[in-house]
A and B are shown apart, each in its own frame.
Chain A
Amino acid sequence: MDIAIQVNNLKKSYGKHLVLKELDFTIMKGEIFAFLGINGAGKTTTLECIEGLKSYDSGKITINGKMGIQLQSSSLPNHIKPMEAVKLFSKWNNTVIDYAMLNALGIEEIKNKKYLQLSTGQKRRLHLALALIGNPDIIFLDEPTAGLDVEGKLSLHQQIRKLKSQGKTIVLASHDMAEVESLCDRIAILNSGNIIFCGTPKQLIDKVGRKYLIKIKTEYEEISFETDNIENSLLSILEELKQKEVHLLDIKVDRGTLEQHFIELSRREA
């Protein structure tokens, strides 16, 4: 897999306050990569330094591919209409308008509304469409589903997965753990300007070292216990139930959500 973005020793400060402390990471082509962290952790600043929207003190950022940036929902004039923004962006990027993409994102339905009349979800979809106008290889999404209802989130997740299937690299900043868990190939957790973890969600779970929680419901009782070895534990308990001729009604295996691991890791780092 080729490298899409390489960041070395990235430092950024606001006055005397150092907000990014020598960040190092690599994002591969075709993956969905997320920056996770609480507010003020440095997610948006990191994204904006990579996007070229913010200057940085030192370090090196290498980008292999054309970028498309989904800006936040306050970055167009109130009285502009979606199709006017689309035309303006396509002229700036010297590209032909992809009406199929606009239809897929539902821009046709809102083309005659003014920006200030759009709902949060419609604005997010419009900004995603604008980010895709130049047919970019790398797409940056900052809190893409913030403020969206469940339906809006699912629709946007579908669009993001579709982009990945087209070979696009997607970089997003979020504090929605469930979203990151369901969408992303790899995550970087930022804490006070440091990357405290960078890897797959599974690697995060392994790093935190949380045990499996097994809950079993039989015709007589409900039991739960923790184990490191899920395979042996399950096999032995199922064998035992079979020997005792006890009917199994339900079984649940839980290793915690990404959110729990994130909290655990942040607590450890603190």
Chain B
Amino acid sequence: MNGFLYGLALQWKLDIRSKSILVTCYIVPILFTLIMGGIFTSIMPEMKSTLTQSMLVLSVSMGAYIGFPPALIETYGSDIKKVYKANGVPMYSGLVTMYISAFVHLMISSVIIMLLDYVLYEAILPNNLIEFFLGLAVYVIVSLSIGSILGLIIKDQAKLTMISQLLFLPSIMLSGIMFPSDFLPEFFKNLGYAFPASWGYQLMLDGGFRLENLWYLSFVFVTAIIAITILLRKQKFE
């Protein structure tokens, strides 16, 4: 347990040093919020009630799909994974520490973005903060589990960048965070529901923390955990 906690604290520091998490969880989402928050609320003042949720879906998706997987590739796509075996540490240990560390980073950046939206653009705070943060936590957990699959399956950083973008861009464009999904053609509207971002967004809106918005994310999470378990077992016997 002592080793696990030290490993977790160390991973948190390494994430900041490696800059991948620093850029995708903090710098880019915060800059995006600072620039786009002003534009969105001036073009559509009614967006003040959903600005925070929109920015958080973008921030979490970016961190989980683009920032998190490279750290996994660095470990599981290289000889670093042998460190665990050589020291009798379970193979999943690295993934768990990276996952928890990324979760903390994403929650911290989410709070920063929420406060910036509130202070700078008079974004309306959620009515029920507990439900809001629960919804946010669920979306972060599900997104990181998808990021975990990407990091464990793909061994090449260039390929990862391409596939991450294929997941990230539709998540942003089709989830209703940039503009209401009702504006989209029926096909794209339905396609949007294949991405967790649409459900995460609904989950964080006022009164959205309901089973009808949770079931799909739960399904994705359970499926991802099964896939991660299989991928880790495969790594163990490679």
Pairwise interchain contact A77-B74, C-beta atoms closer than 8 A? yes
Pairwise interchain contact B3-A88, C-beta atoms closer than 8 A? yes
Is B182 positioned at the interface, with any CB of A under 8 Å from its CB?
no
Of chain B, the residue at the smallest CB distance from A71 is B82
Is B183 positioned at the interface, with any CB of A under 8 Å from its CB?
no
User: For window 87-119 of chain A, which residues contact chain B by CB distance below 8 Å?
Assistant: 87-89, 91-94, 114
Residues of the B chain whose Cβ atoms lie less than 8 Å from the Cβ of A55:
237
Pairwise interchain contact B17-A69, C-beta atoms closer than 8 A? no
Residues of the A chain whose Cβ atoms lie less than 8 Å from the Cβ of B86:
51-53, 69, 71
Is A80 positioned at the interface, with any CB of B under 8 Å from its CB?
yes
Is B87 positioned at the interface, with any CB of A under 8 Å from its CB?
yes
Pairwise interchain contact A91-B85, C-beta atoms closer than 8 A? no
Pairwise interchain contact A93-B87, C-beta atoms closer than 8 A? yes
Is A74 positioned at the interface, with any CB of B under 8 Å from its CB?
yes
**By the criterion of a CB under 8 Å from any partner CB, how many residues of chain B are at the interface?**
22
A77 in contact with B88 given A88-B3, A88-B7 (CB within 8 Å): no
Is A84 positioned at the interface, with any CB of B under 8 Å from its CB?
yes
- Bound Cα distance from A75 to B86, whole angstroms: 11
Pairwise interchain contact B18-A87, C-beta atoms closer than 8 A? no
- Bound Cα distance from A55 to B6, whole angstroms: 29
Is B186 positioned at the interface, with any CB of A under 8 Å from its CB?
no
Pairwise interchain contact A91-B3, C-beta atoms closer than 8 A? yes
- Bound Cα distance from A79 to B14, whole angstroms: 6
Pairwise interchain contact A75-B80, C-beta atoms closer than 8 A? yes
A79 in contact with B18 given A52-B85, A72-B79, A88-B10 (CB within 8 Å): yes
User: For window 1-33 of chain B, which residues contact chain A by CB distance below 8 Å?
Assistant: 2-3, 6-7, 10, 13-14, 17-18
Output the least CB separation between A185 and chain B (Å): 25
Interface of A is mostly: loop
Pairwise interchain contact A75-B18, C-beta atoms closer than 8 A? no
User: How many A-B pairs with Cβ below 8 Å?
Assistant: 56
Is B89 positioned at the interface, with any CB of A under 8 Å from its CB?
yes
Contact size class for A?
20 to 34
Is A76 positioned at the interface, with any CB of B under 8 Å from its CB?
yes
Output the least CB separation between B171 and chain A (Å): 28
Is B127 positioned at the interface, with any CB of A under 8 Å from its CB?
no
Residues of the B chain whose Cβ atoms lie less than 8 Å from the Cβ of A74:
78-80
The CB with the most chain B CB atoms within 10 A, among A84, A87, A88, A89, is that of A88
Is B83 positioned at the interface, with any CB of A under 8 Å from its CB?
yes
Residues of the A chain whose Cβ atoms lie less than 8 Å from the Cβ of B6:
87-88, 91
- Bound Cα distance from A134 to B3, whole angstroms: 14
Is A203 positioned at the interface, with any CB of B under 8 Å from its CB?
no
- Bound Cα distance from A77 to B2, whole angstroms: 20
Is A224 positioned at the interface, with any CB of B under 8 Å from its CB?
no
Pairwise interchain contact A75-B78, C-beta atoms closer than 8 A? yes
Is B161 positioned at the interface, with any CB of A under 8 Å from its CB?
no
Is B181 positioned at the interface, with any CB of A under 8 Å from its CB?
no
A80 in contact with B10 given A51-B86, A69-B86 (CB within 8 Å): yes
Hey, what's the 0/1 contact readout for B63-100 against A, CB within 8 Å counting as 1? 00000000000110011101101111100000000000
- Bound Cα distance from A74 to B3, whole angstroms: 22
Is A58 positioned at the interface, with any CB of B under 8 Å from its CB?
no
A80 in contact with B14 given A92-B88, A93-B87 (CB within 8 Å): yes
Residues of the B chain whose Cβ atoms lie less than 8 Å from the Cβ of A71:
79, 82-83, 86
- Bound Cα distance from A76 to B7, whole angstroms: 13
- Bound Cα distance from A88 to B89, whole angstroms: 11
Q: Given contacts A91-B2, A91-B6, A93-B87, could you give 11 more A-B pairs where the C-beta distance is less than 8 Å?
A: A52-B86, A55-B237, A71-B82, A74-B78, A75-B78, A75-B79, A76-B83, A77-B14, A80-B14, A92-B3, A114-B17
3 smallest CB-CB distances across A and B, nearest first, come from A91-B3, A79-B17, A75-B79
